[in-house]
Structure 1
């Protein structure tokens, strides 16, 4: 986990990054906390659709009750976050959701890469399974 801690300390740029699955959630959480960053876990390994994803985001990001549970509201809510500290988002289970609802994954990644990184707060780590192929929609993202 020293690699992540070093990257955070040196100022990891906002964006979406592939991250190896052999790193546990607790290790990522600990590295983020030790570097003074916030930590958010998005575990979509049990989700099947957009509604479930938006509900998960509302809870994980502690969005306000008025959050409209649509894509525009998610983009606005995340880009307006003013927690005062950069945050690491660990997205586990992307491939499971991708199997059930490719469009939801595509739009979520678009929000994370375009709208949210403009705010400079979020760095999203996509936790990959070693035996899973990374979908094409990630091919243009930075690789750590």
Structure 2
């Protein structure tokens, strides 16, 4: 947790990052909230497609009931919920989803990156195990 705490204390910039960690999500959430940041756990370990991903997003981000379950609606809903306050999104299971539906992960990463740039709020951590090779080479490892 100290590595993440150091990143937060240093003011991790908005964006999408690969993050290698074996810490429990609940511990991470407590640590992030203790540091004064918002926290969202996006767990797609059992998701196989776009529809499942959007369902998980609706719950994880506490999106409104009118959320339309499409890419434009996700982008709009993330923008609408933005407070400008820093928020860590821990995305567990992204690699499993990538194995089943590469396009869904690709579009989701584009939306997250765009929202991070526009709102200055999101810091999305794509969690990986320590022994996973670098497959998303254009994202920094934190």
- TM over 0.5, yes or no? yes
CA contact (8 A) 1:80 1:119 kept: no
CA distance in 2, matches of 1:116, 1:7: 17
Q: Does 1:141 align with 2:139?
A: yes
Tell me how far 1:95 sits from its aligned partner.
1.1
Taking only aligned residues, the RMSD between alpha carbons, in angstroms, comes to 1.5
Deviations 1:47-71 (A, max 9, x none): 0000000010000000011111100
Instruction: Report SS of the residue matched to 1:26.
Output: helix
**Which residues of 2 match residues 6-85 of structure 1 at below 5 A?**
6-83=6-83, 85=85
Q: Does 1:127 align with 2:127?
A: yes
Decide whether aligned partners of structure 1 residues 7 and 42 sit closer, same or farther in structure 2, where only a CA change above 3 A counts.
Answer: same
Tell me how far 1:21 sits from its aligned partner.
3.2
**How many residues get paired?**
142
Tell me how far 1:27 sits from its aligned partner.
2.5
Tell me how far 1:131 sits from its aligned partner.
4.0
CA distance in 2, matches of 1:9, 1:132: 26
Deviations 1:21-76 (A, max 9, x none): 31221221122111111111111110000000001000000001111110011111
Q: Unaligned stretches of 5+ in structure 1?
A: none
CA distance in 2, matches of 1:115, 1:26: 25
Deviations 1:65-116 (A, max 9, x none): 1111100111111122234632110001111111111100110011111234
CA distance in 2, matches of 1:103, 1:133: 20
Q: Unaligned stretches of 5+ in structure 2?
A: none
Q: TM-score, normalised by structure 2?
A: 0.91
